[in-house]
Chains A and B, each alone.
Chain A
Amino acid sequence: MTATTSATKSRRSLGTGWSALGFISPAVLVVAALLYAPFLYTVFYSFTDYDGLTSPKWVALDNFKKFLDDPALTTSVRNTLFWVVGTTIVPVAIGLLIALLSYGIKGGTLLRLPFMLPYALSGAGLGVIWGFILQSDGAANDLLRLLHLPGADISFLQQAPYNTIAMIVAMTWQQSGVNALLFLVGLQSIPTPPLEAARLDGASGFRMFRHITWPLLAPLTTVVVGLSLVASLKTFDIVWVTTQGGPGRSSETLAVTMYRDAFVSSDYGYGSAVALVLTLVTGAVTVAYLRFQIRGQEKLR
């Protein structure tokens, strides 16, 4: 009996078809009206030459052709890739570590607190503090000098690719706690029976983790990685506040390029085209990831 047949059978026998639509409709309506509708506007303008003021001129695919020829694009894409790799691996791993180490122990809340605090800061606050730390001859350089580590003389914010890497460090600082929180939710929802059974069988520590915990954590791991993927592809706030994508556009990400073109250069049509490409890429990557994960999890059940 395949999953679909049993589901259809249950649906029919339990009479939940219309009810389900009812439950999901508020979410769909709000998201469609307030998020999708405005975006359709952007899609329209991506095919035009528009400065935000005078009437838009239809130019079909010209913006997209321009996009492919844009020299700033290579740097932008490269930086965005750095961000994707950087924020889907390290902050996720650290978050998992913190969650595992602090789960269920007395005083766990207190030990977790230092990791939760960074998320309380606003994007601007984050930019101010890390700008402060990473500036030439700033706290970061002091620390490296103190520990006799290399890099004490690097001007982190001024030199590519150090500027991107330094900002990824700042983002790791902020995001690890968030990931830990989500992993904690996952840990909490692991049902006791399999764990007890495993313990009775004599499993402990790493084996327990690898064979029981990690697979059962999969749904929330998907959430954490999925969100990190999306957030990293859309990286904007921290770059804009810390380096404005500079110096000389060397630390721009796709979202920063989009913002610059649309708002700073008033080339709203072109900026919209960049936005559309960015959305399609983000969408494609996440759909692929989610499909892979969710099909896999369904098999597990």
Chain B
Amino acid sequence: MRRYASSTSRLAIAALAAVTLTLTACGGGGDDSSSATATEVKLYNDKGAWKTYFEGVGKLSKEQIGLGVTPVGYTDEPTYEAFIKASFRTNNKPDLFTWSTGGRLKEIVDSGQVADTSDLWKDAIANGDVSKELEPYYTIDGKQYCVPANVSYWVMFYNKKVFSDAGVQPPTSWADLIKTADTLKAKGVTPFYQTSVLFSFVWFQQLLIGTDPQLYNDLATGKAKFTDPKVVAVMQQWKDMEDKGYFSDPGSKDQPEAMLKSGKVAMGLFGTWFNTNMTTQGMKPDSDYGMFVVPNVTPSLPTTTVAFESGPLCSLTKAPNPEASTKFMKWWVQEKAQDQWANSRGDVSANPKVQIKDPSLNQLNKDAGEGKYALANRFFEAVPPAVLTAALDGFGAFMVDPGSFQKQLETIQKASDDYWKSN
């Protein structure tokens, strides 16, 4: 009994000590950033994996404008969104935060919470820091909001060794691409990567913008139906490609960059941010892997359409320190900031002045900036959120059972009908 009693009192003391410790250690890093002499901006983002890159930019911004960056990264997208929206009602608002363009941007702008950046855009465009092509995506009801955090173009990444072993070159026409796929298949290599998680829309997007870009845009605005015969034809084409075995297993948990590296898969359709994924694996751009713009499916179209995505960096009207946030955003769009940001990640920049280290990426950036390609907004941002969720589910289910495409399109159309009925 005595033994137990002493251990009990020891436990009690330990508990008491623990509680005292907690109370004294109760502070967090929360310094009051609403002071006039703020030295840090808290950048909330849903790209938790890019922490080191944000910190890199922060070091530079500290030197150049006296404002450092504290990235607060989230990795679960839905939680991040809900959290940011909830934060508007508290006094723990972010100084800056990343978001998505399209319907999601409109949503928060309509709530009156987001800071107007029209003047910033006017200056930046005049200065040549931002391409005017991007402006429409950041414009709601005639005013601009936020600034571009990142821009990426969707291209086909390919393993150079696999290509040379099979004796093929990057294709210059769709027919060429199919021939390349056949050759690779014959050599026992899976031509294309696909996944049913998050990026299940990629091939739908690519096939449609290469066939009828106007139809693609109309789908996004509800002017066209997913059950339109032309859309059905595209799905049929996708089904044929699936049946021919051109694609990798959609449920595979293996990372695409690993599959491309091992040569199990020859090509993968991704945004140019995928460069970071590849280089982390030890693959060198231009020697181990390359990129090419996917040719239009319909050769008779005048320009090649390339899908692009642009994510905004936003600040709030009631930000903790509006001057600091605005100061940072003004600096962010300029060349020095963008040079650090884009080159550290190995991706393109919204600023056409920036010299991208990688020559082929640089060329792509210039071509796109100069209008060589027609741009289509990524499906993710183009389509309203409710329709997007239905579409992602539908395409995922399609990949597992290609014969079900008609049913999937009908389900997606229903979601689209429901949405546009009340909007």
Chain A residues within CB distance 8 Å of chain B: 51-54, 128, 131-132, 135-138, 155, 157-159, 244, 246-250, 259-260, 262-266, 268
Contact = CB atoms under 8 A, between A and B. Distances in A.
A263 B81 contact: yes
8 contacts: A51-B107, A135-B252, A247-B397, A247-B399, A249-B393, A250-B397, A262-B82, A264-B78
Contacts of B252: 135-136
B250 interface: yes
A57 to B, nearest CB: 12
A247 B389 contact: no
Nearest to B404: A248
| A-B pairs, 9 with minimum CB distance | A248-B397, A263-B78, A52-B85, A131-B253, A247-B396, A158-B251, A136-B249, A264-B78, A53-B85
Interface SS of B by simple majority? helix
Contact of B251 (A54, A155, A263, A268): A155
Contacts of A248: 393-394, 396-397, 400, 408
A53 B385 contact: no
A157 B78 CA distance: 22
A52 B86 CA distance: 7
Contacts of A157: 251
Contacts of B196: 158, 246-247
A291 B196 CA distance: 45
B396 A246 contact: yes
A265 B385 contact: yes
B111 A246 contact: no
Interface string B340-377: 00000000000000000000000000000000000000
Nearest to A155: B251
Given A135-B254, A155-B251, A246 B82 contact: no
A158 B250 contact: yes
Given A159-B400, A259-B78, A263-B82, A53 B251 contact: no
A247 B400 contact: yes
A52 B385 CA distance: 14
Given A53-B85, A247-B393, A262-B82, 4 more contacts: A53-B108, A135-B251, A157-B251, A246-B396
Contact of B79 (A54, A128, A246, A263): A263
Nearest to B397: A248
- Find the residue from A131, A158, A248, A265 having the highest chain B CB count within 10 A: A248
A246 B85 contact: no
A260 B250 CA distance: 21
Interface string B381-420: 0000110010001101101100000001000000000000
A138 B82 CA distance: 35
B79 A53 contact: no
B186 interface: no
A53 B251 CA distance: 34
A135 B393 contact: no
A265 B386 contact: yes
B292 interface: no
A173 B111 CA distance: 47
B251 A266 contact: no
B38 to A, nearest CB: 26
Contacts of A136: 249, 251-252
B251 A247 contact: yes
Contact of B82 (A52, A155, A249, A250): A52
B14 interface: no
B287 to A, nearest CB: 31
A295 B249 CA distance: 54
- Find the residue from B197, B254, B386, B393 having the highest chain A CB count within 10 A: B393
A54 B86 CA distance: 10
Contact of A244 (B111, B197, B254, B400): B197
B88 interface: yes
Contacts of B253: 128, 131-132, 135, 138
Interface string B74-86: 0000110110011
Contacts of B111: 53-54
Nearest to B399: A247
A158 B400 contact: yes
Contacts of B86: 52
Contacts of A128: 253
Contacts of B249: 135-137, 155
A250 B394 CA distance: 11
A157 B399 CA distance: 13
Interface string B196-224: 11000000000000000000000000000
Contacts of A138: 253
Contact of B389 (A52, A259, A265, A268): A265
Given A51-B107, A135-B254, A158-B251, A266 B385 contact: yes
A201 to B, nearest CB: 32
- Find the residue from A53, A159, A244, A259 having the highest chain B CB count within 10 A: A53
Interface string B243-277: 00000011111100000000000000000000000
